[in-house]
Chain A
Amino acid sequence: MSTRVKILYLDDELSNLVGFKASFRMDYMVFTASTSEEALDHLRKHSDIRIIFCDQRMPEKTGVEFFEEIRTEFPLPIRILLTGYTDIEAVIDAINRGNIFRYVKKPWLDEDIISAIEEASKFYLANSMLSSKNAELQKAYNELDKFATSVSHDIRGPLSGVLGGIHVAQKSDDIHELKEMLGLMEKSVNQLDEFIRSMHDYYSIRRGDLNISVIDFDELVKNLQDIYEIYGKVNKVHFSTTIDQEGSFRCDELSLKLILNNLLSNAFKYQKLDSENKFVDLSISVSRGVATFRVKDNGIGIPPHHIQEVFNLFFRASAQAPGSGFGLYNVKDATMKLNGEIQVESNLDEGTVVEVVIPTK
């Protein structure tokens, strides 16, 4: 372990504090306090103190009282009492009430202290692992909750639209009306299809392994151009790309494609419909083993109060074009998985710049 375990010792007898520190400072980082005020001070400054030793007999309060007091404010550190045989009743009571982890009798043997520290440290680590696992679980539950809502809205929504269309169509003889409806139904089906694809992306990023290879940016950009230039022509959006590469770059190609595809499709989708010179610009630069991807557009931009939320699952900041609320969430997830960083700058009505920085593998 690179960092030493932090330990706090509270005792009103200075000679005990000095002796304790002298014995254990080589193996642990020892903080000492002769009053409860001093002890609290240390706890507030060092939130990573793992173990607290406390003397039972002190003039202002007993060790058991001190532990009981700090328990709510500092629940994490493991509490160990130092005491002589005469206080045994108080100690048993405190252990039973869950206020202390164990006790070491005074005068102590160094081996007893060390074994108490090792045991307490293990207990602390198990506890904190449990709470971080708990936090992860909570996050997974929250996402599952969002999924449940989204299944009804994003999957059932387009389906019930199509179903409604069928009901209406069955009662209509107007061929124009029927054709119009077919067009709208097609849109709904495509939306559903896109949703299912993005859901697949979501899972492949979550569970999938990275497949690292040398990235051929010319090839990658050529593929993107093939897809987006046609789209750009139809919608009159000028698409430009630049590559500025020094040295090779290794990465997971699928994740990179997912990131760039989502960023570009957003840039093309959220254009100002009536604007004359719409553009999307993709620039890629690689230098010293770090690739920077920049996607810039002069589209509708993101309202400032929504900019924090655009990476949230199922969040949508615009109704201009159909979206699943998956895109930027997946982009962020993929970027994180590649140890990269992502930044968005946007001005309403002026455009958006998204920059993704990823180190080579």
Chain B
Amino acid sequence: MKTPAVIKLVTAGAKDRKQFVAGSAVALIAAAFLLMLPGFAGHATISLFSRIFILAVFGMSYDILRGFTGVINLGHAVFFGSGTYLAGILFLRLDPTPGTLLLAVIVTVVYCSAAAFIMGKIAFRGGGVIACAMITLALGEIVRHLAETWRDVTMGADGLTFPIPYMFRDRLLFYYYALLFLILMVIVLRRFVLSPTGRVLLAIRENEQRAIFLGYNTTTYKMISLQVGGISAGLSGVMFALLTRFANTELLTIQQTLNALLVTIVGGTGTLYGAIVGTAFVQLIQHYLLTLRDVHPVFTRWLLFFGSIYILVVLYMPAGIVGAYRQLADLLSSRNKKKIA
């Protein structure tokens, strides 16, 4: 039997329950695996996974904007990098204590909220998606340039090394902190996208003009989306500071933004979980391709292979890994239904 390329004629009622059961099962297995991982994995793997957890939150924050609202923000790294810098600067100037960390979190939330407000006020001034992308790109570059030239505070291009609170220095313990952070952010962001507000964001992504004619003030909703995305990214930046104990201007570049874009595309945009899967996929591939350099020196050029894999994913899984999984599940359930009928 030939099936159409895109299977979307799906009913939801029974699917919702099935999806919930399947989703819970996947989440439980993943949680069990991740909780036990430190039992048999080495230090390098544990650090790699801590990194994945933190960058996954950054990816999700980007998905809120691009995947759910349809806004392309090319300056998103500003929130992430600022979180890392703010935490680093505070640890360096004050004492590296849990109190300072709390202060860093508060300062980051306030800073990212203000930055998102300013960015949104400029970028959502009636221009289209492209105008928004260009304006956010320019704003991002301005912040990066400021960080590079303000050497007294940021150490410029040399980067900033800083101490962190004692309780976060243990890699194993930090692994669990990072996992907890990811789980908390998943719960919060999932609630957000399932809220009435989150649904309006989808409407804006689908057809902004129609959303306006339903009576939604779409600019306000986009501002909310940018607030949520910006603050989440900032918090992941603070966690990243605890992981690397180092900040440099690379964290503020468009490359950092594109990394988030990349993981959402690979994992599946507009799915939230796609960002987690995508981050794990990208980081693990990068890691294992690099370890292959002992086999053959060509693997030091891991980007070559990574690029090829990326193109294959985009060509054959345009909805990303999570999207492809859902399509497959839909396909199977609709076949079952036919058998019953």
User: Do chains A and B stick together as partners?
Assistant: no
Give the interface of A toward B (CB within 8 A). none
Give the interface of B toward A (CB within 8 A). none
